[in-house]
Chains A and B, each alone.
Chain A
Amino acid sequence: MAGTMRRPGVRRPEALYNRMVMPYLDHAATTPMLPEAIAAMTAHLGVVGNASALHAAGRRARRVVEESRESLAESLGARPSEIVFTGGGTESDNLAVKGLYWARRDADPARTRVLSSPVEHHAVLDAVHWLSEHEGATVEYLPVDEYGRVHPEALRAAVERDPSSVALVTVMWANNEVGTVQPVRELAAVAAEYGIPMHADAVQALGQLPVSFAESGLTALTVTGHKIGGPFGIGALLLSRGATPVPLLHGGGQERDVRSGTLDAPGAAGFAAAAAVAVAHREEHAVVLGALRDSLVSAVLAAVPDAVLNGDPKPGGRLPANAHFSFPGCEGDALLMLLDAAGIECSTGSACTAGVPQPSHVLLAMGVDPLLARASLRFSLGHTSVREDVTALAEAIGPVVQRARNAGLASVRR
């Protein structure tokens, strides 16, 4: 796997990433598959075999799945038995949040409090909301500071109000919009003191921060393939030995009976290969991308002096590949459109299920003014990012913001 060593942050041959002619600054949404992952996955696509079958083909497939599990476990500082393959980050989050809630409440009906944060990804936020609407949960959103960070004292205070009624704690490892890193180990330690299971969504953290399940003290951890150069449609929930969530999917009893469904051997192989590369090169990757991100931030602030960098400005406090700004007087959708027209692909960073841009719940929770929140863009780097991407953005952003500002004013003219 490590045979093809490479320098992270250096563009791969155009032939492999043919769409890379445009500056792609949306790696946090998804990043191109790594060649190692493509090779590992495609090697198994044409091979028959259900990993649950007992014959030779089944054994072959099972071997692929289990070797992938072992490889992934090694990359994530976990035991192979702690890996539950899922269909992706959203499923892992739902399984952790709902499954652990149901299990804890079934064991003790008094346990109905769910402690979370207001800056979670919708896969957690909507899941805990659903529990409160349909399953009698009381969701408490821990306060966050101006960077969107949860402080361990806040968790302690919330737990201590009534420790025996807490079903679980779920706080993400690093924020997908503004990149703020949470003190996961400290939070997990507080939860562990009271014997409360804690889940963290590490979808954005993996590959950028050191993620070790064993060292984290967490009960459950969400990761997914396509954010680290692996395939779409496969992720994993890491579950510590004693954790037995009630399943979302019932069926053949695969994956410790926690997640039924025929195992995706090629997907698991691609995912494991991507994780191995991402983790092996993480430190170097973080340094290179962090420097590139810093130059991106400087360039944007030079072109638009009143732009506001959201999230923690300190390098250790945010994901190295993340930059997130508000541009006063603009609308995020106009900025996106103008940048797209200029050949630069980025994102507002927040989900818009109806296609209607809403001010980001993350920024609102951080205390950002709603108008300013709607004027925001996320630029996220990845393994194919090059200096030219930043140069292109540096040239485009000033005029684009100017034009978007004029448009913002136009909408109140007639």
Chain B
Amino acid sequence: MTDFPGAPTTPSTGRLRVLAAMSGGVDSAVAAARAVEAGHEVTGVHLALSANPQSFRTGARGCCTIEDSRDAWRAADVIGIPFYVWDLAERFREDVIDDFVAEYAAGRTPNPCLRCNEKIKFAALLDKAIALGFDAVCTGHYARIVDLPDGARELHRAVDAAKDQSYVLGVLDADQLAHSLFPLGDTTKEAIREEAERRGLAVAKKPDSHDICFIADGDTQGFLAKHLGTATGDILDVDGTKLGEHDGAYGFTIGQRKGLRIGRPAADGKPRYVLDISPVNNTVTVGPVEGLDVTGLTAIRPRWCGTEPLADGRYTAQLRAHGEEVPVTASVVDGELRVQLDTPVRGIAPGQAVVLYDGTRVVGSATIATTERPAVTV
């Protein structure tokens, strides 16, 4: 490709042209600063993901406000890098928000952060960056990239186990990983905040964002109700007995206990949990906690950070964000990932991602489609 005037020469010295995605938070700001310090030529970019950004934060923290954009801008100025806002709202709506709503409508529980990484940050953004002459995208995710002597690249958990975000990066394939930079994986969050303070970044004390960024008030149910409307349906016992009614099956998640609005207590007096959601019949089935025990699962749309897992390979699996890691045996059969859990795990929802690990190394991920639950036949 013809280069444009002012573009630096080919990065033979390890100096890369890096596009730093800056949310306006402390992590991505420090990540960008570290990329500069590593000798890269860094440009900051804030992704506008909301078509109608809110002027001021209301209630829970999101990451789509004008204020966040300004914070990112100020951080870029302090670091001394050019800064731009890229409008990816349309792609975000199509690939993340619409998918999020459709998944709930289908009775599944999606993880929009994974989806955003797969489709936006390391796809739409990365593609545009590469086309514009950048070599890599840098983010403030807590994960480690390990380059092997043979040139292969591995994704590993961050040293700060509490902040580790390798789970939401499990969707990255080898090509995406080859163009990624995660400068924070070797540091604890606490140290990052101190570093931000030292660097004079005003976002050092900014609170972490926890919520789904496009649901600024944190009210997922209200958001879904707005998009999907309400539809009264039955709440059933495992034997099919009607126990009550609900306003929409999408309002429930497998393993949910609270807010069931069931008048009568169970015969055995034990609490009941959501075991199954059937969007076709608009029914929600509840039952005893044992009904949540999952011994195995099948997951679709696998994506591998390199090579796919060995047949009947021994790995560990993480089944939800911030979930514990459990030992498993995994195989790829007909393009689907089959996972057997050594010991049953409760409350696994279809739609969530299963991420396989080999020690600290991320093997890859897939979307949970079905689960094996010996205690129930729903």
Say whether A and B bind each other.
yes
Known interface pairs A411-B91, A414-B127; 4 further A-B residue pairs with C-beta atoms within 8 A, sorted by A's residue number: A355-B48, A355-B70, A396-B6, A403-B133
CB of B280 closer than 8 Å to a CB of A: no
Chain B residues lying within 8 Å of A395, measured Cβ to Cβ, are 5
Decide: B130 and A355 in contact? CB cutoff 8 A.
no
* Contact A354-B82, Cβ < 8 Å, known A407-B132, A411-B127: no
Q: How far is the CA of A342 from the CA of B48 in the complex (A)?
A: 25
Q: Mark each residue of chain B from 1 to 25: 1 if its CB lies under 8 Å from any CB of chain A, else 0.
A: 1111111000000000000000000
Main secondary structure of the interface of A (DSSP, over half): helix
Decide: A403 and B87 in contact? CB cutoff 8 A.
no
Considering the complex, give the chain B residue whose CB is closest to the CB of A22. Answer: B6
Cβ distance A162 to chain B, nearest Cβ, rounded Å: 36
Decide: A343 and B69 in contact? CB cutoff 8 A.
no
Decide: B85 and A355 in contact? CB cutoff 8 A.
yes
Q: How far is the CA of A406 from the CA of B82 in the complex (A)?
A: 21
Q: How far is the CA of A414 from the CA of B86 in the complex (A)?
A: 18
Considering the complex, give the chain A residue whose CB is closest to the CB of B82. Answer: A340
Q: Mark each residue of chain A from 338 to 371: 1 if its CB lies under 8 Å from any CB of chain B, else 0.
A: 1011110000000011111100000000000000
Decide: B4 and A355 in contact? CB cutoff 8 A.
no
CB of A402 closer than 8 Å to a CB of B: yes
Q: How far is the CA of A411 from the CA of B89 in the complex (A)?
A: 12
* Selected contact of A410 from candidates B43, B46, B82, B127, CB within 8 Å: B127
Which residues of B, 112-163, contact A by the 8 Å Cβ criterion? 119, 123-124, 127-128, 130-133
Decide: A354 and B53 in contact? CB cutoff 8 A.
yes
Considering the complex, give the chain A residue whose CB is closest to the CB of B69. Answer: A355
* Contact A406-B5, Cβ < 8 Å, known A337-B84, A355-B69, A356-B85: no
Chain B residues lying within 8 Å of A334, measured Cβ to Cβ, are 128, 132
Using a CB–CB distance below 8 Å, which chain B residues touch chain A? Answer: 1-7, 43, 46, 48, 53, 66, 69-70, 73, 82, 84-87, 89, 91, 119, 123-124, 127-128, 130-133
* Selected contact of A396 from candidates B4, B70, B86, CB within 8 Å: B4
Decide: B132 and A338 in contact? CB cutoff 8 A.
yes
* Selected contact of B69 from candidates A342, A354, A410, CB within 8 Å: A354
What would 23 A/B residue contacts be, using CB atoms closer than 8 Å? A336-B84, A337-B84, A338-B132, A342-B4, A342-B5, A342-B6, A354-B69, A356-B48, A356-B87, A356-B89, A357-B85, A357-B87, A395-B5, A396-B5, A399-B2, A399-B3, A403-B2, A403-B133, A407-B128, A407-B132, A409-B131, A410-B131, A414-B127
CB of A413 closer than 8 Å to a CB of B: yes
Most buried by A among B69, B70, B82, B131: B131
Taking residues whose C-beta sits less than 8 angstroms from the other chain, chain A's interface range is 20 to 34
Cβ distance B251 to chain A, nearest Cβ, rounded Å: 32
Q: Mark each residue of chain A from 282 to 313: 1 if its CB lies under 8 Å from any CB of chain B, else 0.
A: 00000000000000000000000000000000
Ranked 4 nearest A-B pairs via Cβ: A407-B131, A342-B6, A410-B131, A355-B85
Cβ distance B73 to chain A, nearest Cβ, rounded Å: 7
CB of A333 closer than 8 Å to a CB of B: yes
CB of A404 closer than 8 Å to a CB of B: yes
Cβ distance B20 to chain A, nearest Cβ, rounded Å: 13
Decide: B131 and A406 in contact? CB cutoff 8 A.
yes
Cβ distance B94 to chain A, nearest Cβ, rounded Å: 11
Q: How far is the CA of A407 from the CA of B130 in the complex (A)?
A: 8
* Selected contact of A356 from candidates B5, B53, B119, B133, CB within 8 Å: B53
Chain B residues lying within 8 Å of A340, measured Cβ to Cβ, are 82
Decide: B5 and A410 in contact? CB cutoff 8 A.
no
Chain A residues lying within 8 Å of B46, measured Cβ to Cβ, are 355
Chain B residues lying within 8 Å of A343, measured Cβ to Cβ, are 5-6
Chain B residues lying within 8 Å of A338, measured Cβ to Cβ, are 4, 132-133
Decide: B1 and A406 in contact? CB cutoff 8 A.
yes
Cβ distance A317 to chain B, nearest Cβ, rounded Å: 32
Chain A residues lying within 8 Å of B132, measured Cβ to Cβ, are 334, 337-338, 403-404, 407
Decide: A410 and B128 in contact? CB cutoff 8 A.
yes
Using a CB–CB distance below 8 Å, which chain A residues touch chain B? Answer: 333-334, 336-338, 340-343, 352-357, 392, 395-396, 399-400, 402-404, 406-407, 409-411, 413-414
Chain B residues lying within 8 Å of A355, measured Cβ to Cβ, are 46, 48, 66, 69-70, 73, 85
Q: How far is the CA of A357 from the CA of B84 in the complex (A)?
A: 10
Q: How far is the CA of A334 from the CA of B53 in the complex (A)?
A: 21
Q: How far is the CA of A409 from the CA of B85 in the complex (A)?
A: 19
Q: How far is the CA of A392 from the CA of B4 in the complex (A)?
A: 11
Chain A residues lying within 8 Å of B7, measured Cβ to Cβ, are 341-342
Cβ distance A47 to chain B, nearest Cβ, rounded Å: 34
Chain B residues lying within 8 Å of A341, measured Cβ to Cβ, are 4, 6-7, 43, 82, 133
Decide: B4 and A333 in contact? CB cutoff 8 A.
no
Q: How far is the CA of A411 from the CA of B47 in the complex (A)?
A: 14
Q: How far is the CA of A341 from the CA of B6 in the complex (A)?
A: 6
Q: How far is the CA of A239 from the CA of B57 in the complex (A)?
A: 41
Q: How far is the CA of A167 from the CA of B127 in the complex (A)?
A: 52
Decide: B48 and A403 in contact? CB cutoff 8 A.
no
Cβ distance A264 to chain B, nearest Cβ, rounded Å: 28
Decide: A403 and B131 in contact? CB cutoff 8 A.
yes
Chain A residues lying within 8 Å of B131, measured Cβ to Cβ, are 403, 406-407, 409-411
Chain A residues lying within 8 Å of B91, measured Cβ to Cβ, are 411
* Selected contact of A333 from candidates B69, B70, B84, CB within 8 Å: B84
Considering the complex, give the chain A residue whose CB is closest to the CB of B55. Answer: A354
Q: How far is the CA of A406 from the CA of B91 in the complex (A)?
A: 18
Decide: A410 and B130 in contact? CB cutoff 8 A.
yes
Decide: B123 and A414 in contact? CB cutoff 8 A.
yes
Chain B residues lying within 8 Å of A333, measured Cβ to Cβ, are 84-87
* Selected contact of A403 from candidates B1, B43, B69, B84, CB within 8 Å: B1
Cβ distance A158 to chain B, nearest Cβ, rounded Å: 32
Chain A residues lying within 8 Å of B130, measured Cβ to Cβ, are 410
Chain A residues lying within 8 Å of B85, measured Cβ to Cβ, are 333, 352, 354-357
Q: How far is the CA of A353 from the CA of B124 in the complex (A)?
A: 24
* Contact A400-B124, Cβ < 8 Å, known A354-B53, A355-B66, A357-B87: no
Decide: B48 and A354 in contact? CB cutoff 8 A.
yes
* Selected contact of A414 from candidates B1, B3, B124, CB within 8 Å: B124
Decide: B43 and A337 in contact? CB cutoff 8 A.
yes
Chain A residues lying within 8 Å of B69, measured Cβ to Cβ, are 354-356
Q: How far is the CA of A84 from the CA of B189 in the complex (A)?
A: 55
Q: How far is the CA of A407 from the CA of B43 in the complex (A)?
A: 16
Most buried by B among A336, A340, A341, A392: A341
Chain B residues lying within 8 Å of A356, measured Cβ to Cβ, are 48, 53, 69, 85, 87, 89
* Contact A402-B2, Cβ < 8 Å, known A333-B85, A337-B132: yes
Q: How far is the CA of A337 from the CA of B123 in the complex (A)?
A: 20
Chain A residues lying within 8 Å of B84, measured Cβ to Cβ, are 333, 336-337
Q: How far is the CA of A334 from the CA of B7 in the complex (A)?
A: 14
Chain B residues lying within 8 Å of A409, measured Cβ to Cβ, are 131
Considering the complex, give the chain B residue whose CB is closest to the CB of A374. Answer: B87
Q: How far is the CA of A340 from the CA of B1 in the complex (A)?
A: 19
